[in-house]
A and B are shown apart, each in its own frame.
Chain A
Amino acid sequence: MSIMKDSREATMIGHRSDGTTIRRPLSPHLQVYDMLQMSSALSISHRITGVVWAIGLVFLVWWLVAAAAGPSAFAAAQWFFSSFLGVILLLGLTAAAWYHTLAGVRHLAWDAGWGFDIPTMYRTGRAVLIGTAALTVLTWIVLLVAFS
């Protein structure tokens, strides 16, 4: 066991790989990892897209409540979703939703014990990214066909 040379060692002090001291975070977070890999990047993206979808759920609730409320409330909601801001929001939301779903399937496969070795993990990671792009495009094709 090493002898502590500095009293700061006693508190939650950590070090980056280049030696700079940082206050150690409670949970592995972006402050500590200074390299973006398929594993860590897709993992934190799964969490971020989950939060994005949680916010999107609020918009779904608004749309449903507006539909039940009446024509004027519904028209206001549809106006927002067809506006520039609304379209950007829906674009981001569909991409996040598909990513979170596909990455979730990857997680379920891990729960079943499959796919832990590095080459497979990279392959499934790439499949998730490609699938997300493809399904987002497909969704928007359906949307544009329905809109016209």
Chain B
Amino acid sequence: MANEIAERTTLRSPLGRVRGLGSSKSGVHHWWLMRVTSVALLPLSIWLIFSLAGLAGAGHAEALAFIGRPFNAVLLLAFLAAAFHHTAYGVQVIIEDYANSEWAKMAGILVVKGLAVLLWLAASLAVLRIVLMHPPASAL
């Protein structure tokens, strides 16, 4: 009977069990976000690769016209958001796997996240600038 009781005991608090976040304190957040961004990036990156291939050798005006169209701008912004999130989380996993000391791991993760945010902002700002300052002659 003591064995049955021992099998049923848990050291987790009731609140901890309800929250279900586990020892990482963020639960399945990282894993789930990778999946969500992956699914989002599937159509977005296929669109981006073929769109950029179609823009090969384009002049400045043609490129601006492409980015300036609201349809393309929206997809571009969505791609950038999903891509930088996905990349930051993915490189974080690589660093966690291979970093040799705790401080190297922490520094690596912070650098990657910082770079991702800065590059994301720079790219998104560029797209917004093009949309706002170079409106196409015929909208959409």
Q: Which residues of A contact B (CB under 8 A)?
A: 26-27, 29, 47, 50-51, 53-54, 57-58, 60-61, 64-65, 67-69, 71, 74-75, 78, 82, 94, 97-98, 101, 104-105, 107-108, 111, 139-140, 142-144, 146-147
Contact = CB atoms under 8 A, between A and B. Distances in A.
28 contacts: A50-B87, A53-B87, A57-B83, A57-B84, A57-B87, A61-B122, A64-B67, A64-B76, A64-B123, A64-B127, A67-B67, A67-B130, A68-B125, A74-B60, A78-B58, A97-B49, A101-B41, A105-B42, A111-B35, A139-B49, A139-B50, A142-B53, A143-B53, A144-B56, A146-B53, A146-B58, A147-B56, A147-B57
Interface of B: 35, 38-39, 41-42, 45-46, 49-50, 53-58, 60, 63-64, 67, 76, 83-84, 87, 90-91, 94, 97-98, 100, 119, 122-123, 125-127, 129-130
Q: Is the interface of B mostly helix, strand, loop or mixed?
A: helix
A144 B57 CA distance: 9
A147 B57 CA distance: 5
Contacts of A47: 94
Contacts of B123: 60-61, 64-65
Contacts of A140: 53
B87 A67 contact: no
Q: Is the interface of A mostly helix, strand, loop or mixed?
A: helix
Contacts of A146: 53-58
A133 B83 CA distance: 23
Nearest to B61: A71
Contacts of B38: 104, 107-108
A111 B56 CA distance: 36
Nearest to A47: B94
